[in-house]
Amino acid sequence: MISAMLTMLVVGAVCGLLLGIASIAFHVEPDHRAEELLAMLPGYNCGGCGYPGCSGMAAALADGSGDVEKCKPSKAEAKAAVKQYLKDHPQAA
């Protein structure tokens, strides 16, 4: 009984150690640009741009496939701010 408990304790410790090392070795920084771009869009979720709401448009802008000019309710100042943001924060390679 004790040997089974010790075996499970060792196996659990080894698995935990391997998972800890893997989380450090394979860590990827998240891209927060889509969230920041979503805050810059008007938030009407009208779909006039062809995307399913402003979150879809923000994701497309962040990955480089979207065009802020398709956002019909957005004002010219907001479109210029989004364009400037995309220039200042280029897509990571």
* Complete DSSP assignment for 31-81: --HHHHHHHHS------TTSSSSHHHHHHHHHHT---GGG-SSS-HHHHHH
How many domains does the chain divide into? Answer: 2
Expressed as residue numbers, the domain containing 82 is: 33-88
Residues 56 and 25 in one domain: no
Burial class (CB within 10 angstroms; exposed 0-12, middle 13-18, buried 19+) of 81 = middle
For 59-81, how does the pLDDT look when each residue is reduced to its tens digit (9 = 90+)?
Answer: 999 998 999 999 999 999 999 99
Residues 11 and 40 in one domain: no
Residues 11 and 47 in one domain: no
For 5-64, how does the pLDDT look when each residue is reduced to its tens digit (9 = 90+)?
Answer: 999 999 999 999 999 999 999 998 888 999 999 999 999 998 889 999 999 999 999 998
pLDDT at res. 9: 97
pLDDT at res. 91: 80
Residues 37 and 14 in one domain: no
Residue 93 pLDDT more than 90?
no
Residues 47 and 67 in one domain: yes
CATH (domain of 68): 1.10.15.40
Within a domain: residue 58? yes
Within a domain: residue 93? no
List the end-to-end C-alpha distance of the chain, in Å, as a whole number: 54
- The reported pTM is 0.69
| Two tokens, residue 44 | 């009407």
Residues 21 and 43 in one domain: no
